[in-house]
Amino acid sequence: MAPDEVPGKRGHTTGDFALSETQLANRNSGQPLEMLRHALTPVGLHYLLIHFDIPYVESAEAWRLDVSGLVERPLNLTIADLKALPQRTLRVTLECAGNGRAVSTPRWQSMPWEHGAVGTAEWTGTPLRYVLEKAGVSSKAVEIAFLGADRGFDSNVEHDYGRSLVPAQAMHEDVLLVWAMNGMPLAPQHGFPLRLVVPGWYGMASVKWLNRIEVLDCKFDGYQQVRTYIFRKDADDPGIPVTRMRVKSLMVPPGIPHWFGRARVVDAGPVTLTGRAWSGGGVGISKVEVGIDGQWQAATLDERAGPYAWTGWRTTWNATPGEHELMCRATDQDGNTQPLEQAWDYAGFGNNAVHRMAVTVRARS
């Protein structure tokens, strides 16, 4: 098969979007930014990035979580077994590592996210560590792999979706084996009946439809671990794995939109600008600034609902007729601030450049 006939082949591009990209935007869905008004993303609006098909699982009864490899006691657990362990509920903001890819130049051909691939939910499950302790992880374990029931090809490599953590990461009490979202059983598209949730990391670590945990004596070499989700300058760069979310903020678009092009029209006068800001690894937000035509003003921060949830922010803008550019910029408690321009990344990961929005202000009639 000639290289240009490899199914799923892709590269960098600029300008308009291929049908293959638009197909992915049909399947995968982001949060419309006006829904950032909700501290908890409404059911069905949490972003979805699904590499292959959503598995069809008729009932949770038959599901098994297999734990094997370097363990003293291999396990084969039902969802009921897991529910018998201590439970926790955590409010977690998850963002797709590719969020913002559509607005990068040149752009890696993949899911063309504009801004909406972020959401916040309350996840209920049992800390993974209880299961690992039950199995007895060997001291020789190097990595622990998490594999889902979703299978397909990327760059012509067939694989089950899988990711890994090192034992110290996996034993963190906030890494959960999850069966409920916002108090309801997981929906099929969110991993029914079981998924991993790794708070503070980009979404790729939170493996859905989880049915196997393998404790390895070496690094996991799965496609989704070693071939993608890596910050790289170019194709030959060994790069740095994508892990924790970068500091970021987004704004609820003020005023009303045009259907096509989404241009915004705002009535003159005092306008409350609001949005949400977050960072990774459980680090809080220390500051959000709003830029009005390049002039920065501090926003007021809401209280955060837990260490992994985004922080709401608001400020007032006295809008005057004419064309304006709005921006928002967050700084986290470790001192990281969003850049004004996106840093180059080969596959468009980790775009946390400030959110910019053009608005037209009209005089009130």
Q: Under the rule (CB under 8 A), what is the footprint of a second copy? A: 7-10, 15-27, 29-30, 32, 34-35, 37-38, 42-46, 50-54, 56, 102, 109-110, 112-114, 116, 151-154, 156, 158, 187-190, 253, 256-263, 265, 360
Cα distance from N-terminal residue to C-terminal residue, the chain: 65
Q: Shortest Cβ distance from residue 45 to a second copy (Å)?
A: 6
DSSP one-letter string for 140-187: T--EEEEEEEEEEEETTEEEEEEEEE-HHHHT-TT-EEEEEETTEEPP
The residue assigned the tokens 């990209």 is 21
Q: Output 28 or 331, the one with its CB closest to a second copy.
A: 28
Q: Output 211 or 286, the one with its CB closest to a second copy.
A: 211
Q: Output 128 or 310, the one with its CB closest to a second copy.
A: 310
Distance CA 343, CA 167 (A): 31
Q: Shortest Cβ distance from residue 124 to a second copy (Å)?
A: 17
Using an 8 Å Cβ cutoff, are 73 and 136 in contact? Answer: yes
State the sign of the Cα–Cα–Cα–Cα dihedral 305, 310, 311, 317: negative
Q: Shortest Cβ distance from residue 41 to a second copy (Å)?
A: 10
Q: Shortest Cβ distance from residue 19 to a second copy (Å)?
A: 7
Please state the separation of Cα 187 from the chain's center in Å.
17
Q: Output 123 or 143, the one with its CB closest to a second copy.
A: 123
Q: Output 115 or 129, the one with its CB closest to a second copy.
A: 115
Please state the separation of Cα 238 from the chain's center in Å.
23
Q: Shortest Cβ distance from residue 33 to a second copy (Å)?
A: 9
Q: Shortest Cβ distance from residue 215 to a second copy (Å)?
A: 27
Q: Output 139 or 259, the one with its CB closest to a second copy.
A: 259
- Retrieve residue 293's tokens: 């035509």
Q: Output 279 or 342, the one with its CB closest to a second copy.
A: 342
Q: Output 141 or 359, the one with its CB closest to a second copy.
A: 359
CA dist 245 → 20, 265, 338, 350 (Å): 27, 32, 12, 7
State the sign of the Cα–Cα–Cα–Cα dihedral 292, 295, 296, 297: negative
Between the CA atoms of 116, 120, 124 and 125, what dihedral angle is there, to the nearest 10 degrees?
60
Q: Shortest Cβ distance from residue 261 to a second copy (Å)?
A: 5
Cβ atoms < 10 Å from Cβ of 54: 18
Q: Shortest Cβ distance from residue 292 to a second copy (Å)?
A: 21
